[in-house]
Amino acid sequence: MGTDIDENDLPVDHSWDNRRLILASLAPRSATRPARRGTPLDGDPTPPGGPDRTRKPGLFSRGMRVSGRAVSAGGRAFNNRVPRENRARVAIMTVAAVAILLVALAAVNYLTTDVNPPAPATPATAAPPPPPSQAPLNRDTILSGATASDVCPRDPNYSDANRAFDSDFNTAWVCTRVKNQDGQQIQIDFGRQVTLTQIRIIGGFDATAPDGTDQWAKHRIVTKLEVYFPKDLRRDPVTIDTGGARDWRFIALNPPATLSKLLIRIAETSPPPQPATPTSETASPNPDEVTSVAMSEIQFIGTDGHSPPA
């Protein structure tokens, strides 16, 4: 039995309406119009978005990312291990412990610096020159063979002037001061031409008697000595200031003086010092009563002839 179908009951055919989309999907794609967004063109190795997309992040950026991940991981571990109600207290205790540790380290550093301060830097300084009394001299530079004469009174205190040139400290030239005044003179004759570069003296009797008496305290001490040169040299006299020291005192002659005779004059003396504990046998006379002056040694440094030493 036949069944009649009404055209209104059939489904609507929309294929004609979609023909453009169907035809477009079947047509080949050109190189300038890719089918899928983001797909690179044929033969172009540069990825979409330009060449900057291939650069790796910098070291600072990677470090910040790693630090962020580490902090996040630490926070998650802290949250997993510490209950919610104890998190604030644990955080405060941790910060306090770190602060205490830093304070302790600072205190140790301060105490160590205070106990062991750095040694101050000392600038290098040159060694001071030796005092004049300790000037080194060679025996071969001390001139010998000189003879001396004086105008001292020939009393019991007198001792010959040549004893001041014999290189023996147990002997000395002793002269009585006329009217208790200074000004005693010694005339020196070398007997040849010599060139003097230095004159040195000991301004007292620097010896000890066999009975133990200190001869330094028995005679006045020479504090100032004047040396006069021959007139033909036209040189001013020079002065040796001893200061009363019991030691060598000298004067350097610059330029050296070439001569055969010399005059020495005692310009100033001082009373002798008194021993600390004098005894009845060895007690020195009163300084006001001492009228004699003495000199142990007078030495001339130089060479024979006109040429000064090199």
Q: Are 122 and 290 in contact (CB under 8 A)?
A: no
What is the tens place of the pLDDT at every residue in 194-218? 999 999 999 999 999 888 889 999 9
* Exposure letters 90-129 (e unless 16+ CB within 10 A, then b): eeeeeeeeeeeeeeeeeeeeeeeeeeeeeeeeeeeeeeee
SS3 content of the chain, % helix, strand, coil (to 5): 30, 25, 45
User: Which amino acid, 197?
Assistant: T
pLDDT tens digits along 131-171: 544 445 544 589 999 999 999 999 999 999 999 999 898 99
Q: Judge whether residue 281 has pLDDT over 60.
A: no
Encoded tokens for 251:
């004067």
User: Which tens digits make up the pLDDT trace of 293-304?
Assistant: 999 999 999 999
Residues in Cβ contact with 178 at an 8 Å cutoff, skipping those fewer than 6 apart: 153
Who wins on pLDDT, 274 or 309?
274
Q: Which residues are bridge partners to 175 per DSSP?
A: 293
Q: Taking residues 253-277, what's their average pLDDT? A: 90
DSSP state of 227: E
- Cα–Cα distance, 307 to 310 (Å, whole number): 9
Q: For all residues of the chain together, what is the average pLDDT?
A: 78
- Whats the size of the chain, residue-wise? 310
Encode pLDDT of 85-131 as tens digits.
777 777 788 888 888 988 888 877 776 665 555 555 555 555 555 55
The 10s digit of each residue's pLDDT in 241-252 is 999 999 999 999
Cα gap 168→95, rounded to integer Å: 90
- The residue among 253 and 141 whose pLDDT is bigger is 253
Q: Is the pLDDT of residue 280 over 50?
A: no
pLDDT at 188: 96
Q: Which of 43-47, 148-152, 276-280 has the highest mean pLDDT?
A: 148-152
Distance CA 172, CA 170 (A): 7
Q: Are 240 and 251 in contact (CB under 8 A)?
A: yes
Fold observed for domain 138-274+286-304: Jelly Rolls (2.60.120)
Structure tokens at 12: 């609507």
